[in-house]
């Protein structure tokens, strides 16, 4: 953890550090270990020496794998990746020069183009680094523009990725794509959109590649670089598309409504979330449509009404969470007069938490710690500064029963990036159609 932190600041990945088991840091702990280890502190301040004593750029050399045949090489490579903590527990494909070159057809950027430092470790991700990650994750060239946009978004300073990459909270990125690219690359917006998905393989591969970048470049190795207690759904993160075709009349896509991006533009929205809950939304069939709509929104609002210290970081410019309504649900609500804005306003109003409940949950201390502006500390307490902070996305299988809530975590603002399409895009899509078959039918 500390090695990652100093590396992130541009130092060699080593530090004069004294570490203790977690027991020392618990309330009412025995502090004797401090006395027993005081020589280590003195040594760190007076005797410790770094092994690297000059400023320089260090490019990792290629790795040679030599075996009898493809199968032997693949086994050797996966064992090597396991030993080096470069994998995710599942088999990886080889990032040979040929495969990386193939993936690089998905961008006009030169392979050496620097995307930025991935914290906390702070190693540098280039376009080539991302192509390598996609090659390992089983990706394809046409996925690369989305991965580049996702990594660009992730390292936006407003997202505090250095914090949630390392935290004990099991945070994972959610990346939502708007625009025609979603359908073109088979990114799912319908049934099973959060995977696993044999029909739309793009989200799994892009999200897995993003996760590999987070770990291998950013240092988020479980238990040492990321202290995420549970990990939770981080094999592939959450990479999916909005069901733009299923939007009710008058509803704008997320990228347009939330960020003001031009309609039809390929845009990626990025925000870290800390979990996901399925909400049984529909009624029993005995209610009127109006009653069902109202009851379902109340039910969703009550799931959203939680004392969540992790959402305070983004209270003003972040989002308390991402809510998924299927096209069926969105259209049912729209037919009953619910606009997107009206739904968000209703959910915000009805998810306010009484201050007494918050105090019982100790939230006042978190509000002080996070230096939440006292003007927002009102009774009942809204889950965000304003209703518009809530992200409402039309996505999921066309079915009326469920909604899905992904609770926001630890980023101070929401971020979006335009997705850049390379020259030769149509050719890439033609090749994908030959290799993967015709585009899946709309669900």
Site for other proteins in 173-212 (CB under 8 A): 212
Sole binder of other proteins in the list 56, 83, 286, 375 (CB under 8 A): 56
Neighbours of 85 (CB within 10 A): 13
In the bound state with other proteins, the residue whose beta carbon lies nearer, of 33 and 192, is: 33
**Nearest distance from C-beta of residue 344 to other proteins, angstroms:** 29
Sole binder of other proteins in the list 78, 102, 108, 126 (CB under 8 A): 126
Sole binder of other proteins in the list 105, 149, 153, 163 (CB under 8 A): 163
DSSP reduced 3-state for 158:
helix
**Nearest distance from C-beta of residue 233 to other proteins, angstroms:** 21
3 binds other proteins (CB under 8 A): no
Integer Cα distance of 297 and 343 in angstroms: 8
- For other proteins, what does the binding mask look like between residues 328 and 367, x meaning CB under 8 A? ----------------------------------------
- Cα torsion 206, 212, 214, 216 to 10°: value is -150
Neighbours of 29 (CB within 10 A): 13
**Nearest distance from C-beta of residue 286 to other proteins, angstroms:** 51
- The token duo for 63 is 């790795």
Integer Cα distance of 52 and 59 in angstroms: 15
42 binds other proteins (CB under 8 A): yes
132-161: which residues touch other proteins (CB under 8 A)? 132-133, 135-136
Sole binder of other proteins in the list 102, 138, 222, 227 (CB under 8 A): 227
Closest CA to 175 of 335, 195, 162: 195
Integer Cα distance of 13 and 2 in angstroms: 9
369-388: which residues touch other proteins (CB under 8 A)? 369
**Nearest distance from C-beta of residue 236 to other proteins, angstroms:** 17
Closest CA to 310 of 404, 194, 215, 172: 172
- Tell me which stretch binds other proteins (CB under 8 A): 11-19, 180-188, 195-203, 345-353: 11-19
**Nearest distance from C-beta of residue 178 to other proteins, angstroms:** 29
Token pair 């250095």 is at which residue? Answer: 162
- The token duo for 344 is 């968000």
**Nearest distance from C-beta of residue 425 to other proteins, angstroms:** 25
User: How many whole angstroms from its chain centre is CA 231?
Assistant: 12
């Amino acid at each position: 953890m500390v090695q990652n932190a100093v590396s992130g600041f541009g130092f060699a990945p080593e530090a004069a550090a004294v570490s203790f088991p977690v027991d020392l840091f618990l309330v009412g702990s025995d502090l004797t270990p401090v006395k027993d280890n005081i020589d280590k502190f003195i040594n760190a301040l007076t005797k410790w020496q770094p092994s690297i004593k000059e400023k320089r750029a260090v490019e990792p050399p290629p790795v040679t794998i030599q075996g009898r045949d493809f199968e032997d090489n693949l086994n050797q490579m996966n064992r090597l990746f396991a030993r080096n903590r470069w994998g995710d527990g599942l088999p990886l494909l080889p990032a040979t020069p040929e495969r990386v070159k193939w993936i690089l057809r998905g961008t006009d950027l030169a392979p050496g183009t620097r995307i930025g430092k991935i914290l906390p470790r702070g190693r540098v991700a280039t376009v080539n680094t991302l192509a390598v990650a996609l090659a390992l994750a089983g990706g394809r060239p046409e996925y690369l523009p989305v991965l580049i946009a996702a990594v660009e978004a992730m390292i936006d300073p407003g997202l505090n990725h250095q914090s949630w990459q390392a935290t004990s909270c099991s945070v994972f990125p959610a990346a939502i794509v708007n625009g025609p690219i979603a359908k073109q690359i088979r990114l799912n917006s319908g049934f099973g959109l959060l995977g696993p998905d044999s029909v739309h393989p793009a989200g799994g591969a892009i999200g897995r590649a993003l996760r590999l970048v987070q770990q291998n470049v950013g240092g988020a190795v479980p238990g040492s670089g990321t202290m995420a207690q549970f990990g939770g759904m981080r094999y592939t993160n959450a990479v999916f598309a909005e069901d733009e075709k299923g939007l009710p009349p008058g509803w704008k896509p997320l990228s347009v409504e939330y960020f003001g991006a031009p309609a039809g533009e390929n845009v990626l929205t990025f925000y870290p979330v800390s979990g996901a809950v399925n909400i049984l939304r529909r009624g029993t069939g005995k209610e009127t449509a109006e009653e069902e709509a109202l009851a379902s929104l109340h039910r969703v609002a009550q799931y959203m009404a939680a004392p969540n210290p992790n959402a305070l970081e983004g209270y003003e410019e972040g989002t308390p969470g991402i809510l998924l309504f299927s096209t069926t649900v969105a259209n049912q609500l729209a037919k009953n007069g619910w606009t997107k804005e009206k739904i968000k306003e209703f959910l915000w109003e009805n998810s306010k938490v009484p201050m007494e409940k918050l105090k019982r949950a100790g939230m006042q201390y978190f509000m002080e710690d996070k230096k939440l502006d006292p003007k927002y500390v009102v009774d009942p307490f809204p889950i965000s500064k304003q209703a518009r902070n809530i992200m409402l996305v039309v996505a999921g299988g066309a079915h009326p029963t469920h909604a899905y809530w992904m609770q926001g975590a630890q980023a101070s603002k929401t971020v979006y990036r335009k997705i850049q399409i390379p020259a030769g895009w149509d050719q890439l899509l033609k090749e994908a159609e030959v290799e993967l078959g015709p585009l899946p039918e709309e669900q």
